[in-house]
């Protein structure tokens, strides 16, 4: 009887959503999530919103595993459940690097090689120049942060296939950068193109680890350099180093890289270390991007915030034309808003995807995490959530054609 009532309640809420103009924002957003979950056969969603008055909304919908066929409240994903959020981690890594810039440890336009090569030699016994070649000597910190180094991307089909073939192996920077083809040239000379490459954020992790004075890559996470008070307000936020996803979350997730799709519950959740190791629920991620880009200087200085928001288009490869700043994507196109008005980062990792952003125009943040790799569904849902929030604030969206 309990399971039947649970299903009826969910369907009733979905039916009501067609006439939800007078409903409060939390209930309206809950209906949006439940409708999306039912239409996608129980896909799990975690949604977080931080409003201009700092009120938070934390919601979820769906089941924590897709093979749970009978509706049952015990199967429901909770707002507190964490998801792997993939490249959303790049925002956190960029913030950690910029905090060191703010502290005077180095400058954005300093050459990167001296800032990490001693640490790399601890890991691999030789300079990274021997793998990546002489162009590496001209790469700056800014180039790495803005995807302009020209270093090719290690995160490709062969590297992901290797992780599935070796699900219990936690891949660190030596293994990850080792997926680059021997002798492969840079995509361009440093600073002359924009190419999305997770290798940039692997190298930034080496900078952070060398500065931290650790001896091994798995002795460092971004938490070392982020504000402790902020992290204390985000209790579900973790940075994976070792072990399968089941060590970090009860949410199963499904990768379409192989057929049939693979449940990543027992696959390493390290996710590329500092380019993709974030484990969080959505409200924690919304709190982070709000603190990073909102009013005040809670994470980085106003000068660093300004630098982050200077974007230029990726010129080739994945998502050419997307404007990228220092660890930030211009995501305004997803919601058809004014260019530059919604910034943050997307995430697409083994079995999970995510979208986290701050509205510069309307002063709110949102984050959505999903337990599959269907980016189209995520984009449609983010668009619906975004405009519902804007409407609730009594404002009008500037929808671009």
Cα angle: 142, vertex 230, 53; to 5 degrees: 100
DSSP state of 261: P
pLDDT tens, 226-237?
A: 999 999 999 999
- The pLDDT value given to residue 259: 74
Cα angle: 179, vertex 243, 152; to 5 degrees: 20
Ranges of residues in the chain with a pLDDT under 70 are 1-23, 68-73, 398-401
Enumerate residues 6+ apart whose C-beta is below 8 A from 209: 116, 119, 217, 219, 220
Q: Where are the alpha helices (DSSP H) in 59-156?
A: 89-102, 113-124, 129-132, 141-145
- The pLDDT value given to residue 139: 98
Q: What is the pTM assigned to this prediction?
A: 0.93
- The pLDDT value given to residue 66: 79
Between CA 102 and CA 314 the distance in angstroms is 26
Report the half-sphere exposure of 373 (CA within 13 A, side-chain side).
14
Between CA 309 and CA 293 the distance in angstroms is 9
Q: In what helix (H) or strand (E) does residue 140 lie, and over which residues does it extend?
A: none
- The pLDDT value given to residue 311: 98
- The pLDDT value given to residue 70: 62
Between CA 255 and CA 224 the distance in angstroms is 31
- For residue 154, with 0-12 CB atoms within 10 Å meaning exposed, 13-18 middle and 19 or more buried, which class applies? buried
Q: Where are the alpha helices (DSSP H) in 170-295?
A: 173-177, 199-212, 228-232, 282-293
- The pLDDT value given to residue 17: 43
CB atoms within 10 A of CB 114: 12
- The pLDDT value given to residue 21: 46
Q: Where are the domains of the chain?
A: 83-361
Cβ-contact 48, 354 below 8 angstroms: no
What is the tally of helices (H) and strands (E) in the chain? 13, 13
Report the half-sphere exposure of 275 (CA within 13 A, side-chain side).
24
Cα angle: 268, vertex 272, 275; to 5 degrees: 140
- The pLDDT value given to residue 224: 98
Rg of the chain over all Cα atoms, to the nearest angstrom: 21
Provide the CA 189 distance to its chain's centre, in angstroms.
27
Enumerate residues 6+ apart whose C-beta is below 8 A from 33: 45, 47, 59, 60, 61, 62, 381
Range 83-361 classified under CATH 3.30.70.270: no
């Amino acid at each position: 009887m309990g399971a039947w009532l649970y299903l009826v309640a969910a369907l009733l809420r979905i039916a009501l959503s067609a006439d939800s103009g007078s409903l409060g924002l939390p209930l309206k957003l809950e209906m949006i999530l439940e409708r999306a979950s039912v239409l996608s056969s129980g896909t799990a969603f975690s949604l977080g919103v931080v409003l201009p008055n700092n009120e938070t909304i934390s919601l979820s919908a769906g089941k924590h595993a897709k093979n749970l066929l009978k509706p049952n409240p015990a199967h429901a994903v909770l707002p507190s459940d964490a998801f792997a959020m993939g490249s959303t981690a790049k925002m956190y890594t960029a913030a950690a690097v910029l905090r060191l810039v703010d502290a005077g440890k180095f400058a954005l336009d300093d050459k990167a090689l001296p800032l990490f090569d001693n640490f790399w030699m601890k890991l691999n016994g030789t300079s990274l120049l021997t793998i990546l070649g002489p162009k590496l000597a001209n790469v700056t910190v800014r180039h790495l942060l803005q995807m302009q180094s020209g270093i090719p991307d290690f995160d490709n089909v062969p590297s992901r296939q290797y992780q599935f073939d070796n699900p219990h192996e936690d891949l660190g920077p030596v293994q990850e950068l080792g997926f680059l083809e021997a002798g492969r040239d840079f995509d361009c000379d440093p600073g002359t193109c924009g190419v999305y490459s997770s290798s940039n954020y692997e190298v930034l992790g080496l900078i952070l680890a060398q500065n931290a004075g650790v001896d091994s890559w798995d002795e460092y996470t971004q938490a070392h350099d982020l504000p402790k008070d902020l992290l204390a307000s985000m209790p579900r936020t973790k940075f994976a180093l070792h072990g399968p996803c089941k060590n970090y979350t009860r949410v199963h997730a499904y990768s379409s890289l192989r057929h049939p799709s693979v449940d990543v519950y027992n696959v390493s959740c390290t996710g590329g270390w500092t380019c993709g190791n974030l484990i969080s629920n959505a409200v924690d991620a919304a709190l982070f991007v709000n603190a990073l880009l909102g009013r005040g200087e809670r994470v980085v200085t106003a000068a660093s915030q300004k630098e982050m928001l200077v974007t230029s288009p990726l010129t080739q490869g994945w998502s050419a034309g997307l404007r990228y700043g220092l660890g930030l994507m211009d995501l305004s196109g997803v919601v058809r808003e004014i260019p530059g008005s919604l910034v943050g980062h997307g995430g697409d990792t083994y079995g999970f995807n995510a979208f986290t952003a701050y509205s510069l125009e309307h002063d709110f943040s949102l984050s959505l995490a999903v337990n599959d790799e269907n980016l189209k569904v995520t984009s449609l849902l983010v668009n619906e959530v975004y405009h519902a929030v804007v409407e609730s604030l009594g404002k009008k969206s500037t929808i671009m054609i």
